[in-house]
Structures are given as C-alpha cells and as structure tokens.
C-alpha cells in the first residue's frame, strides 16, 4: 500500500515518517505508515528483498531506521554469526548489524538524532535509505557464507570483500 503524501523537494523538511513515506512513493517502493510514528516498506537490494522500518521517537528526536535482509540465525550458527557481527561492525561508519533475540533475525540498525524541530530533509532521508541498503548489500554475502556455506567468519568476510571489490 502506498500512502498519498505531499511532494517534498530538497528545500523542504518534514516529519521523519512522512518524508520517508514520500521518498518511497517517489521511487515506486511499497510502504505503509503503520502509526503516526512508524512506517514499514520493502526494497529489492542486490541480493535480496529488504524490509525497511522507521520508528520516530519524538520525546528524544531520534529516528531509528532498520533494514532486515530476511536472514535468520539458527542456534548452531549463533556463535559464528556473532563473531562475524563483530568483524563486520568494525568496518561500519554509520549504523551497525545486530541479531534480534526475539526471532533470531539479522538486522542493520541506525539511529539518527534530529534537530529540535524534529524534521528530516529529503537529502537525509535518501542518505539513510541508501546507506542501509548499501551496507546490507555489502555484507549479505559474508552472512550467507557463514550461515549457509559453513565458512569461518574471518574467511567469509574476506571472501565477501573480494567479491564486492571485483564487481563493477
């Protein structure tokens, strides 16, 4: 379901959920505003479809942005997955990967502290979405190598970085 929203430009700022929903709509991506302070959408990445979720907490002016690549971590792979998380997160400048204990789901998470006005610009929204997708695409193969290919975490990360560097 696509919401109907005002068209925003680079000169406009808006409530974070509204701005992100407008961006999704402009790009033709499905999204739904599930509450005044939360939206969920879906985007096709290079390796998989990602669920994107934004949660606005006005009391702190914090926007939490999540990207879930639909990877579940089984009990037998948990130790290696956590080791890989540590290695991957060392490579990150923005956001981090985590495994939700409720459902054992891998996710990328980034919190953004917004100004006192609590608004998000179009450029911020684009950067937030693109960074989440790019980071999930960049590290997806490493998680696949560990969880389904039985590679050691360090070898999986090295193989994923070589593969990514080799693409043009």
Specify the higher pLDDT residue, 131 or 103: 131
Beta bridge partners of 108: 67, 97
Question: Using CA atoms, how far apart are residues 41 and 168, in angstroms rounded to an integer?
Answer: 28
- For residues 76-92, give the mean pLDDT: 96
Chain segment 114-166, per-residue pLDDT in tens: 988 899 999 999 999 999 999 999 999 999 999 999 999 999 999 988 755 55
Stated pTM of the model: 0.87
- For residues 17-22, give the mean pLDDT: 95
């Amino acid at each position: 379901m696509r919401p109907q929203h005002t068209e925003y430009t680079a000169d406009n700022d808006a409530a974070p959920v509204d701005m992100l929903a407008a961006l999704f709509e402009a790009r033709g991506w499905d999204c739904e505003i599930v509450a005044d302070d939360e939206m969920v959408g879906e985007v096709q990445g290079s390796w998989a479809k990602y669920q994107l979720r934004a949660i606005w907490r006005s009391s702190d002016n914090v926007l939490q942005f999540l990207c879930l690549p639909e990877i579940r971590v089984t009990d037998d792979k948990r130790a290696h997955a956590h080791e890989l998380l540590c290695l991957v997160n060392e490579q990150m400048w923005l956001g981090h990967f985590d495994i939700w204990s409720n459902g054992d789901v891998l996710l990328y998470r980034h919190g953004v502290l917004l100004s006192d006005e609590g608004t998000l610009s179009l450029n911020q929204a684009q950067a937030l979405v693109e960074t989440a997708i790019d980071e999930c695409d960049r590290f997806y193969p490493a998680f696949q190598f560990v969880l389904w290919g039985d590679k050691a975490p360090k070898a999986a990360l090295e193989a994923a970085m070589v593969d990514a560097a080799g693409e043009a």
